[in-house]
Chains A and B, each alone.
Chain A
Amino acid sequence: MSTQQQLIIIGNGMVGHHLVEQLVDNGALERYQVTVFGEERHRAYDRVHLSEYFSGRDAESLALCDADYYTTSGVTLRTGEAVIEIDRDQQEVVTDQGRYPYDKLVLATGSYPFVPPIPGNDRDGCLVYRTLDDLDDIRAAAENATNGVVVGGGLLGLEAANALRGLNLDTAVVEFAGRLMPMQVDNEGGELLREKIEALGVQVLTERATQRIEDGDASRHRMVFQDDKVLETDLIVFSAGIRPRDQLARDCDLEIGERGGVVVDDQCRTSDPAILAIGEVALWNQSIFGLVAPGYQMAKAALATLTDGDTRFSGADMSTKLKLLGVDVGSIGDAHGNQNPGARMFRYLDPLTQVYRKMVVSSDGKKLLGAMLVGDNSAYDTLLQYYSNGIELPEEPASLILPQSSGAAPALGPGALPETATICSCHNVSKGDICATIDDGAVDLAGVKGATKASTGCGGCTALLKSVVDHELEARGVEVDKSICEHFAHTRQGLYDIVRVEGIKTFSELIDKHGNPETHRLGCDICKPAVASILASCFNEPITDAAHVPLQDTNDTFMANMQKNGTYSVVPRVAGGEITPDKLIVLGEVAKKYGLYSKVTGGQRIDLFGARLEDLPDIWGELIEAGFETGHAYGKSLRTVKSCVGSTWCRYGVQDSVGMAIQLENRYKGLRSPHKIKFGVSGCTRECAEAQSKDIGIIATENGWNLYVCGNGGMRPRHAELFATDLDDEQLYRTIDRFLMFYVRTADRLQRTSVWRENLEGGLDYLKEVVLEDSLGIGDELERQMQTVIDNYQCEWADAISDPEKLKRFRSFVNDERPDPSIIMTSERGQLRPA
């Protein structure tokens, strides 16, 4: 076996990281020892979704891989270490920390934002928008700013403008050309785009060349334009295009294009065959490709070069589908129609709904050469397939861009696509690849995604991928099986609807009428707790009633949390985390009397561990006597509403967060749901209650409450997303009523709100439509259902200890009063714990 060669990759951006994944997945690490240098302190992250950094996502959630991916794969990643020189004679890479030998070297240094040479462009508060550190700088500069300007009205400029809006700055965009996004849209499209963006409160200034930047009067800076008009602003972000980061290559005399970029061939080799270049630094056929999909294709070609494969880079389609400031913009092929002499144009403009569609068609009217969309991208997928697969256009091509109501042709179905049709351009997955994966045994969307990586890049093809997968599965006679388990051929949502529509109140009635007759109709540990939860969500009868008790997980059966030695923990409700000294003393006395280990929980209450089954009723008798009620810590239900101390005590608080937390906890306690639900209420924007990590997060404002939804801590943290602003108390309750009931209705079993939200077709916008705009017309019904649950609340423990029949279950043995002798405790730090 030959010894390993040294492979160095300079750059840990999206494309550099993709190359590492390709090397790992294709066994190239047997041949190469790989070292990656990243100048930034973060490992590779998703630059496409950078603006989400200001709407809740953090560096970790934007990361392209798990923190230990490089280590476990056997690749050395050196972040925060910039390469300063390539020594081609010695075949060494030089950083400020050392010299590293290479046999093969890949440049994936990407690009940098172009800052126009304007006097004053280096003043404090003149920034760029490219990296996470840039965004931190922008955020810091925005703290004391009221307005901001983006120089550049292209794709990245509008992204940056969105980011400034996200920081609550009055935002303006200054563009040198006569319209926004001059590369992607024409004058009509540009005008429409301007209208839409101005309607969002962003000022748009076109045909403006900035002459100089100087001290302002009302704001920090004054921008002076060519006609001596001025604009004052506190903050300036330059986003006037990108330039390849080719300095290292220039310094070591690799061939460079006239306007920059490291010249590469079809195999991504530079003028030095030991050095390759990929991504935005590479110049292929005199073109720089400023999108992620071509970069990924270059990475694949580089892999082939490094491993003697056949894949070549042969250019890339620059079609793009974007949502900028909430406005759809799509551009396919020769969108302007200026590359194909004789091409014919179809245009559709609706000034009322502000939609513009344009098709560029071959002179014989048979082929689509390009298209442009503003305001509505719904036709994009279909048009792209006509374009990239050369599918013959329908007899009346105009039908593709006319509104559906005019009897226009429906979208091109997945069945009509040829095998070669590219579905995911980021990972270059064709319909044929998807079919092959299904033939190899993939049975659902997740399986296809896992095997092909389709739709895991920019995510633009998600809907198309799903329709192709569903279509192909059905074509193979695979019924897409969404049954909850072998006892019911229904989803959880299906069972929920059956229970509600037919008013079924017991599991046995449900399984008799709707269960699979091939089974013994006993149910199982999947469907029984799920149905128990559904019945409780609909009717809220005590879960310890004889008909319901065999359905419950042991925690619900005994209304306590089973620990690893078979004992239970007890958590009484402490609404909002507020507790009187007297109650605190009772908790201490009960813990002492029954030998319970005591610990404060993350949800601001007290957990008492080590309770024996037979002691639970006595423990609860004493707690209820002292005014406690059950805390549902054992249930898939509302757990806690965490709060900060709020305006009552805190000098920063603007609302009574504790009062609101108690109101909410008492309103929703006992609501059983597909999974547990946690709330947080913060009294001001400092967010001490960490509400944005909860399913429901509420943050006080001067005017009321901001509502955040679908956050999560735990294994996969997710920031909650802003859902509604400045609600009064009543609006807040109503919105949460609807939101929670919609979740209860439609989520899968054991699906937290965060995962539910991520799987919800239409995402947050759809959720807002349903809950805030009542687009399904079910708002009243959802509120009524919630009221039923609230009206029927009773403390399950109070109910159980007053019923001798129910108490019978709380015996360790039916024929002996002895406690279980195998439960052995030992002492640690002054408390008991399992031995």
Chain B
Amino acid sequence: MTATAMKKEMDTVSVENSKTWQKVCNKADLVEFSGVAAWLDNVEPPAQVAIFYLPGHGNELYALDHHDPFSNANVIARGIVGDLKGAPVVASPIYKQHFRLEDGQCLEDEDVKLRTWKVEFKGDEVWIEG
């Protein structure tokens, strides 16, 4: 996707859903095949997101809630990334439930789903739609 095309899509999305894209960090802040946490301030209330970077796999970037609903602690970015039953997942570092990176679905409990955000590289910058 070219930068212009992306800008156009971003504009469309922001108009339709009152969502805007924001830069959260640089590529160098990410850890390959693992996660980091970032604040997302332009949502209400402000959210902590976990951003995972899987070079060469699917979307490469994934963003979901940093908050772990099972332990009530903000730790998801510190979980181990892997793939289970054909989809990339992260395992909570506290009680080890798995969440699908694509859609936040918990594999152990179908009623639990983390929020997800669109996340993209823009050059060397990491942008999230929030």
Given contacts A550-B34, A566-B71, A809-B36, 18 further A-B contacts (CB under 8 A): A486-B85, A520-B88, A522-B54, A522-B83, A524-B80, A525-B91, A527-B82, A546-B32, A552-B80, A562-B93, A564-B71, A564-B73, A566-B73, A809-B31, A813-B39, A814-B36, A814-B38, A820-B48
Contacting pair A814 B75 (CB below 8 A): no
Task: Indicate which residue in A522, A523, A550, A820 contacts B31 across the interface (CB closer than 8 Å).
Answer: A550
Tell me if A553 is interfacial: C-beta within 8 Å of chain B.
yes
Contact of B81 among A529, A550, A818 (CB under 8 A): A550
A contact residues around B88 at 8 Å (CB): 520, 522
Return chain B residues, CB-CB under 8 Å to A553. 80, 93
Q: Given A564-B94, A820-B48, A549 and B79 touching (CB < 8 A)?
A: no
Q: In angstroms, how far is the closest chain A Cβ from the Cβ of B102?
A: 12
Query: Is A554's beta carbon under 8 Å from chain B?
Result: yes
Q: Is the CB of A523 within 8 A of B94?
A: no
Smallest Cβ-Cβ distance to B87: which chain A residue = A520
A638 to B7, CA, bound (A): 54
Report the bound CA distance from A559 to B32 in whole Å. 19
Whether the Cβ atoms of B24 and A524 lie closer than 8 Å is no
- B61 interface hit (Cβ, 8 Å): no
Residues of B39-61 contacting chain A, CB below 8 A: 39, 48, 51, 54, 57
Partner of B34, one of A519, A525, A549, A815: A549
A522, A546, A564, A812: which contacts B57 (Cβ < 8 A)? A522
Check if B74 is an interface residue, CB within 8 A of chain A.
yes
Q: A95 near B: Cβ within 8 Å?
A: no
Least Cβ–Cβ distance between B28 and chain A, in angstroms: 8
Residues of A within 8 A of B84 (CB): 486, 524
Output the least CB separation between A262 and chain B (Å).
56
Q: List 14 A-B contacts (CB under 8 A).
A: A520-B57, A520-B88, A522-B88, A546-B32, A549-B31, A550-B33, A550-B81, A551-B80, A553-B80, A564-B94, A812-B37, A813-B39, A815-B24, A822-B73
Q: Which 5 A-B pairs have the closest CB atoms?
A: A524-B82, A566-B73, A554-B93, A525-B91, A550-B33
A522 to B29, CA, bound (A): 21
**Contact (Cβ within 8 A) A550 B39:** no
User: Using Cβ atoms and an 8 Å threshold, which residues of chain B touch A227?
Assistant: none
Chain B residues in 8 Å Cβ range of A812: 37
Contacting residues of chain A (561-579) with chain B, CB-CB under 8 angstroms: 562, 564-566
A546 to chain B, nearest CB (A): 7
For residue A557, CB closer than 8 A to chain B, the reply is yes
Which of A486, A522, A551, A808 counts the most B-chain CB atoms under 10 A from its CB?
A: A522
- Report chain A residues within 8 Å CB of B122: none
- Which residues of A come within 8 Å of B, CB atoms? 486-487, 519-525, 527-529, 546, 549-554, 557-558, 562, 564-566, 808-809, 811-816, 818, 820, 822
Convert B7-40 into 0s and 1s, putting 1 for each residue whose CB lies closer than 8 angstroms to a CB of A.
0000000000000000011000111111011110
| Interface flag for B123 (CB, 8 Å) | no
Q: How many A-B residue pairs have CB under 8 A?
A: 99
In the bound complex, residues from chain A placing their C-beta under 8 Å from that of B75 are: 554, 562, 566
Residues of B within 8 A of A562 (CB): 75, 78, 93-94
Q: What is the CB-to-nearest-CB distance from B109 to chain A, in angstroms, rounded to a whole number?
A: 17
Query: Residues on B close to A: CB < 8 A?
Result: 24-25, 29-34, 36-39, 48, 51, 54, 57, 71, 73-75, 78-86, 88-89, 91, 93-94, 96, 98
Q: Is the CB of A820 within 8 A of B74?
A: yes
Inter-chain contact A520/B37, CB cutoff 8 Å? no
Query: Given the known A-B contacts A549-B31, A550-B32, A815-B25, are A522 and B74 also in contact in the complex, defined by CB atoms under 8 Å?
Result: no
What is the CB-to-nearest-CB distance from A347 to chain B, in angstroms, rounded to a whole number? 61
Residues of A within 8 A of B36 (CB): 809, 811, 814
Q: Is the CB of A529 within 8 A of B80?
A: yes
- Chain B residue numbers with a CB within 8 Å of A813 are 37-39, 48
Neighbour of B39 across the interface among A487, A524, A566, A815, CB < 8 A: A815
Given A564-B73, A564-B94, is A814 in contact with B37 using a C-beta cutoff of 8 Å? yes
Which residues on the A side are within 8 Å of B98 (C-beta)?
525
Shortest Cβ gap from A834 to chain B (Å): 9
Given known A-B contacts A815-B24, A820-B74, A528 and B37 have beta carbons under 8 A apart: no
Contact assessment for A520 and B83 in the assembled complex, using a CB-CB cutoff below 8 Å: yes
Q: Is the CB of A565 within 8 A of B73?
A: yes
Q: How far is the CA of A616 from the CA of B69 in the complex (A)?
A: 25
Docked CA distance A414–B22 (Å): 68
CB distance from B29 to the nearest CB of A (A): 4
Expressed in whole angstroms, the Cα–Cα distance for A816 and B39 within the complex equals 7
Contacts of A527 in B (CB 8 A): 82
**Which partner residue on chain A sits nearest B28 by CB separation?**
A808
| Chain B residues closer than 8 Å to A487, beta-carbon distance | 82-83
Q: How far is the CB of B70 from chain A (nearest CB, A)?
A: 11
Closest to B126 in A: A814
Identify A524's interface contact among B38, B48, B71, B91, CB under 8 A.
B91
Closest Cβ of chain B to A736, distance in Å, is 32
- The complex places the Cα of A820 from the Cα of B39 at a distance, in Å, of 10
| Given A520-B88, A566-B73, A814-B24: A554 in contact with B38 (beta carbons within 8 A) | no
Asked whether, in the complex, the Cβ of A528 is within 8 Å of the Cβ of B82, the reply is: yes
A523 touching B39 by the CB < 8 A rule? no
User: How far apart are the CA atoms of A402 and B38 in the complex, in Å?
Assistant: 75
CB distance from A543 to the nearest CB of B (A): 13
Q: A524-B91, A814-B24, A816-B39 are in contact. Are A566 and B74 (CB under 8 A)?
A: yes
In the bound complex, CA of A549 to CA of B83 (Å) = 17
Q: Min CB distance, A397 to chain B, in Å?
A: 56
A522 CA / B87 CA spacing, docked (Å) = 10
Flag if B78 contacts A557 (CB, 8 Å).
yes
Cβ–Cβ < 8 Å partners of A551 in chain B? 80
A808: nearest chain-B partner, CB-CB? B29
Cα distance, A550 to B78, chains bound together (Å) = 10
Please measure, in the bound complex, the distance between the C-alpha atom of A507 and the C-alpha atom of B75, giving whole angstroms. Answer: 24
* Chain A residue with Cβ nearest B90: A525
Which chain B residues border A529 with CB–CB below 8 Å?
Answer: 80
Task: Return A431 CB to nearest CB of chain B, in Å.
Answer: 37
Q: How far is the CA of A813 from the CA of B93 in the complex (A)?
A: 17
Which A residues lie within 8 Å of B31 (CB)?
A: 549-550, 808-809
Complexed CA–CA distance, A523 and B71 (Å)? 24
Q: How many Å lie between the Cα of A552 and that of B79 in the bound state? A: 9
With most chain B CB atoms within 10 A of its CB, the pick from A550, A551, A808, A816 is A550
Whether B57 contacts A814 by the Cβ 8 Å rule is no
Q: Which residue of B lies closest to A532 (CB)?
A: B80
CA distance A486 to B83 in the complex (A): 9
Q: Tell me the minimal C-beta distance from B92 to chain A in angstroms.
A: 9
- B74 and A523 contacting across the interface, CB-CB below 8 Å: no
CA separation between A361 and B75, bound complex, in Å? 72
Measured between alpha carbons, how far is A816 from B25 in the docked complex, in Å?
A: 10
Question: Do A525 and B38 have beta carbons less than 8 Å apart?
Answer: no
- With A554-B79, A558-B78 known as contacts, the answer to whether A520 contacts B39 (CB < 8 A) is no
Residue of B nearest to A555 (CB): B93
Complex interface: chain A residues within 8 A of B81 (CB): 522, 550
